[in-house]
A and B are shown apart, each in its own frame.
Chain A
């Protein structure tokens, strides 16, 4: 029986299938990832509705305001007063006007004087926030000069009844 000469050969695993799979995974995650949703705060539990469909055309300029409660790991409210989660801070509605003024200055500097008329305020409010608080927020935005508003909700699946 001939003896196989294995002394000098080094084992080189075939990397091609692994690289193929890794590239496919990479492509998948790159396609699926949505940087738009980085504006959404996970602490806000949006209300659900069947008519809440993603818009066909995006607003020209958009300022997203997340309005919800500080919640524990089990979902319980830690504070009964709803807060606006903005730029890493938490603010009550009554003290939010200076931040909106700052946003207005930035928008005008970036997009020109028509920035406020083109800007849509997208309100992502928690399903348990009192409606009066949302109306107060809209009123403050109006006082600053914003006039277009959009309310967010999670799309609920349609259950077809027999």
Chain B
């Protein structure tokens, strides 16, 4: 049998179109990329209409009322829980967190599912303070485990107040 003298010819695949497409894809994904900080959620309990009346055999736990008063610029002027004033400094929210813990006893207590916090804020109050209040009522971060120790699951807003001077 005769042997072919010449070996297999080298097939050259045209790489240019592939590289073109790959570069275009690369540029597309690079331009689409946005470096954003991770975002988290706080769920609020706002059912439509009046709340359902409690069943006769059900013991209704009274709502915890958190009141936030704003100054003219929208900053926090006073934070209070029930009739107890917690101040308006940075530690006010820590005190709120401690007060909520005092009411529920310990994180994970079955009471945490029943207790409801109602946040009543002035119209002008900056939203960041409302979120801090929601966070303080929700629980606290356990520094060792880096996990949430949950205090209250149900958080709602009171009826919106009228703007000052309206």
Contact = CB atoms under 8 A, between A and B. Distances in A.
- The DSSP consensus for interface residues of chain A is mixed
Interface string A136-149: 10110010010111
A160 interface: yes
Nearest to B41: A150
Interface in A113-162: 122, 124-136, 138-139, 142, 145, 147-155, 158, 160
Contact of B40 (A42, A53, A126, A135): A53
B77 interface: no
- The DSSP consensus for interface residues of chain B is mixed
Interface residues of B, number: 50
A134 B38 contact: no
Interface string B19-31: 1001101100110
B38 A154 contact: yes
A19 B141 CA distance: 46
Size category of the A interface is 35 or more
Interface string A10-21: 000001000100
B33 interface: yes
A40 interface: yes
B122 A22 contact: no
Contacts of B25: 26
Contacts of B130: 131, 134
Contact of A29 (B33, B46, B135, B160): B33
Contacts of B161: 132
Interface of A: 15, 19, 22-23, 25-26, 29-30, 32-34, 37, 40, 42, 46-55, 122, 124-136, 138-139, 142, 145, 147-155, 158, 160
Given A151-B134, A155-B39, 16 more contacts: A26-B22, A47-B132, A49-B132, A51-B135, A52-B42, A53-B38, A122-B41, A128-B74, A130-B74, A130-B124, A132-B122, A132-B161, A151-B43, A153-B40, A153-B42, A158-B143
23 contacts: A19-B19, A26-B29, A29-B29, A29-B30, A33-B32, A47-B127, A47-B131, A49-B40, A49-B135, A55-B40, A127-B126, A127-B131, A128-B126, A131-B121, A131-B126, A132-B160, A135-B157, A135-B160, A150-B43, A152-B39, A153-B131, A155-B39, A160-B143
